[in-house]
């Protein structure tokens, strides 16, 4: 027998908050943002290979959410770094989750198979306040 | 009469995906990540004032989600930049939403009232692929 849940609109909003839709999330997550500078930034093939490699990371269980990005066409201002090529933004529950990801065989295989593509990597790890 | 919704676990997972919990989101968002270096990084008061100022931004309607952060205690590696003090991560629907935020009076008031606190700002704008 399948037990079904009966919930109202307020509860649905509550669920939305739990799942991170709230504009100002109550959950405190670890934000891991990585920027890659390609050796051959003009090569679409290299960019696509790196993005394909990054997509293999999504199966690592401690990643709560992942966004893969390229440079946006926002206004060019002095404070905006537009020199990078590909970005990877991940959320983890905590620093232990991020460590598990770092040490995971899928992540290590990604680095081994793709590190020839990039000239520079820069990482920002922040903790929600 | 209040109409209540009866939903099963599969539907709950569907709702979670719509609300952005999916590990690999289907929505393509603009990711705006800003890092601040304080003039007085040892000053807890300055850090708290900047965070309080950043919290005023949450009411700007085009911000889909905001995370305010401080340096995480992840493993120190050469590729990790640990020199910054406070971070602000925002999601927008698109570049127009980010432009509306930049020009919004609340954002301009935030800059006017708090820019004396920081020595450097660095911005990364990426678009989900």
pLDDT of residue A104: 98
Q: What is the pTM of this model?
A: 0.84
Q: What percent of chain B has a predicted confidence (pLDDT) above 90?
A: 74
A20, closest residue in chain B (CA to CA)? B21
CB contact under 8 A, A65 and B35: no
Question: Are B7 and B61 within 8 A, CB to CB?
Answer: no
Contacts of B121 in chain A (CB under 8 A): 79
- Sole residue written with tokens 């629907």: B93
Cβ of A81 within 8 Å of Cβ of B2? The answer is no
Smallest CA–CA distance, residue B42 to chain A, in Å, is 17
- Which of B36, B126, B128 to substitute to test the interface with A, most A CBs within 10 Å? B126
pLDDT in tens, B62-90: 999 999 999 998 888 899 999 999 999 99
pLDDT tens, residue by residue, A50-60:
999 999 999 99
Q: Please report the ipTM that was assigned to this predicted complex.
A: 0.83
* Tokens (6 digits) for A31: 């934000």
**Which positions in chain B touch A96 (Cβ < 8 Å)?**
none
Which residue from B59, B16, B29, B91 is spatially nearest to A14, judged by alpha carbons? B16
pLDDT in tens, chain A (129 residues): 444 444 444 444 444 444 444 676 667 899 999 999 999 999 999 999 999 999 999 999 999 999 999 999 888 889 999 999 999 999 999 999 999 999 999 999 999 999 999 999 999 999 999
Mean of per-residue pLDDT scores for chain B: 87
Closest Cβ–Cβ partner in A23, A69, A74 for B58: A23
Give yes or no for a contact between B58 and B66, defined as CB atoms under 8 angstroms apart: yes
**Phi-psi region at A20: left, alpha or beta (left = phi > 0; alpha = psi -120 to 50):** left
Which residues of chain A neighbour B67 with C-beta distances below 8 Å?
Answer: 25, 29, 31, 126, 128
């Amino acid at each position: 027998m399948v037990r079904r849940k009966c919930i109202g609109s307020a509860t649905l909003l509550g669920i939305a908050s739990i799942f991170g839709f709230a504009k100002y999330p109550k959950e405190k997550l670890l934000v891991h943002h990585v920027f890659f500078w390609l050796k051959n930034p003009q090569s679409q093939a290299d960019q696509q290979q790196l993005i394909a490699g990054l997509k293999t990371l999504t199966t690592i269980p401690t990643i709560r959410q992942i966004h893969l990005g390229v440079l946006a066409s926002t206004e060019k201002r002095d404070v905006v770094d537009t020199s990078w090529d590909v970005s990877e933004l991940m959320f983890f529950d905590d620093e232990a989750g991020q460590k598990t990801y770092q040490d995971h065989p899928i992540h290590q295989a990604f680095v081994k198979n793709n590190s020839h593509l990039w000239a520079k990597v820069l990482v920002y790890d922040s903790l929600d306040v």
